[in-house]
């Protein structure tokens, strides 16, 4: 299909384990993304989310399958795909502008230092760090560091931004502000984003599609949730939308119980190339099964056991 900007085709990742043979983190994962789409991946620790992101970044290679970005198979890291690291990964011996300029001069190697500095400055202004250009990362707060990370990623004008739990180390207030910033910047620039998160609200606020992973090892992509909220949503209003709770409950139900039972329940019928696309609020089969009354007491017990 030509409308697939990014196409993950049947990737799996296995690690050798001494004495046991190999362990499979996730298996036969198929996923496609459109240009300008914001996709969030949610799953418990150990389901291989970060490995998927590292494969997309080219920092890791799949044991099986390929990833195609804009018509080309991934063969290692590329300036087309920028990564925002969870630990921000700024170079502590460089200033704010030095960190962004390092990325800019890596992309445009024959630019003069004046050109590089001016271009880096543009992105520092964009993330609201004007005035802090000459500070070192050690002098910045966690939120400001992550802003530098975002400026650095944006400055190379990537085809896709990969974010590995970018806000998880921040306090709630800073996280909210940065989510707004990322949303604004991505909408302004039409950026394609793949983001990993643990935060359901963050996913609902930011994402167009939310990808749910079952528990690892041997994780599979269980379903894709289409965000039913309108694209123009605000932080103050989005949780008042009539479909907000349906979406939230669906994801939480998945994380609490179905992420464990999904593989057994769908044995024989699960097709990795054609996973269920769920749009909360509409009578989808996946939802009907989740809300099946006969399953409720059972789920309650499992929840109590947590």
Partner 1 sequence: MKMASLTGRAAVVSFALLFSFLLAWHLATRGSGTAQHMDPEYAKLMGATATQGKSAMPGPIDVGVKLWEHLRRPFYDNGPNDKGVGIQLVFSIARVLIGYLLAMLVAIPVGFLIGMSPLMSKALDPFIQVLKPISPLAWMPLALYTIKDSSLSAIFVIFICSLWPTMINTAFGVASVRREWLNVAKTLEVGTLRRAFTIILPAAAPTILTGMRISIGIAWLVIVAAEMLVGGTGIGYFVWNEWNNLSITNVITAILAIGLVGMLLDFVLARLTRLVTFPE
Nearer to partner 1, 137 or 216 (CB): 137
Nearer to partner 1, 113 or 293 (CB): 113
Which of 82, 97, 127, 220 contacts partner 1 by CB under 8 A? 82
Which of 181, 76, 194 lies closest to 128, judged by CA? 181
Q: Which residues of 243-271 are buried (b: 16+ CB within 10 A; e: fewer)?
A: bbebbbebbebbbebbbeebbeebeeebe
Q: Is 85 in the site for partner 1 (CB under 8 A)?
A: yes
Cα–Cα distance between 112 and 116 in angstroms, integer?
6
Which of 29, 41, 55, 57 contacts partner 1 by CB under 8 A? 57
Q: What are phi and psi of 226, to 5 degrees?
A: -80, 125
Label the pairing between strands 192-197 and 160-164.
Answer: parallel
Q: Is 89 in the site for partner 1 (CB under 8 A)?
A: yes
Nearer to partner 1, 95 or 257 (CB): 95
**Cβ–Cβ < 8 Å for 151, 181:** no
Biggest CA–CA distance in the chain, Å, is 68
| Shortest distance in whole angstroms from residue 72 CB to partner 1 | 15
Q: Is 83 in the site for partner 1 (CB under 8 A)?
A: yes
Nearer to partner 1, 7 or 78 (CB): 78
| Shortest distance in whole angstroms from residue 5 CB to partner 1 | 19
| Shortest distance in whole angstroms from residue 194 CB to partner 1 | 14
Strand order in the sheet with 192-197: 81-84, 160-164, 192-197, 38-42, 209-213, 221-226, 276-278
| Shortest distance in whole angstroms from residue 27 CB to partner 1 | 25
Cα–Cα distance between 151 and 104 in angstroms, integer?
10
94-153 positions binding partner 1, by CB under 8 A:
102-103, 106-107, 136-138
Helix axes 142-155, 96-107, angle to 10 degrees: 20
CA 170, 176, 178, 182 torsion: positive or negative? positive
Q: Is 61 in the site for partner 1 (CB under 8 A)?
A: no
User: Stretches 17-25, 78-86, 247-255, 284-292: which one binds partner 1 (CB under 8 A)?
Assistant: 78-86
Q: Is 251 in the site for partner 1 (CB under 8 A)?
A: no
Which of 87, 141, 187, 302 contacts partner 1 by CB under 8 A? 87
| Shortest distance in whole angstroms from residue 80 CB to partner 1 | 9
Nearer to partner 1, 27 or 133 (CB): 133
Residue ranges binding partner 1 (CB under 8 A): 57-59, 76-79, 81-83, 85, 87, 89, 91-93, 102-103, 106-107, 136-138, 156
């Amino acid at each position: 299909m030509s409308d697939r900007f990014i196409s993950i085709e049947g990737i799996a990742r296995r690690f050798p384990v001494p004495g046991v043979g190999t362990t499979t983190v996730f298996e036969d994962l198929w996923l496609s993304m459109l240009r300008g789409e914001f996709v969030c991946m949610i799953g418990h620790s150990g389901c291989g989310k970060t490995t998927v992101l590292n494969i997309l970044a080219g920092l890791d290679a799949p044991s099986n399958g390929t990833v195609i970005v804009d018509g080309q198979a991934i063969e290692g890291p590329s300036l087309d795909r920028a990564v925002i690291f969870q630990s921000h990964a700024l170079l502590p011996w460089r200033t704010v502008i030095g960190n962004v300029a390092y990325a800019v001069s890596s992309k445009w190697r024959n630019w003069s230092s004046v050109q590089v500095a001016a271009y880096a400055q543009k992105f520092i202004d964009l993330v609201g760090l004007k005035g802090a250009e000459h500070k070192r990362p050690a002098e910045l707060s966690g939120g400001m560091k992550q802003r530098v990370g975002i400026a650095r990623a944006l400055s190379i004008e990537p085809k896709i931004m990969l974010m590995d739990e970018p806000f998880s180390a921040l306090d709630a207030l800073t996280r909210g502000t940065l989510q707004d910033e990322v949303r604004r910047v991505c909408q302004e620039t039409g950026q394609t984003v793949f983001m990993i998160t643990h935060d359901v609200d963050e996913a609902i606020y930011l994402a167009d599609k939310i990808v749910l992973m079952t528990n690892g090892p041997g994780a599979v992509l269980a379903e894709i949730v289409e965000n039913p909220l309108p694209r123009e949503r605000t932080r103050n209003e989005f949780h008042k939308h009539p479909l907000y709770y349906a979406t939230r409950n669906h994801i939480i139900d998945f994380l609490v119980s179905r992420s464990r039972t999904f593989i057994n329940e769908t044995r024989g019928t699960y097709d990795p190339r054609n996973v269920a696309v769920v749009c909360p609020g509409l009578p989808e089969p996946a939802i009907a099964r989740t809300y099946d009354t006969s399953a409720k007491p059972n789920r309650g017990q499992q929840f109590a056991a947590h």
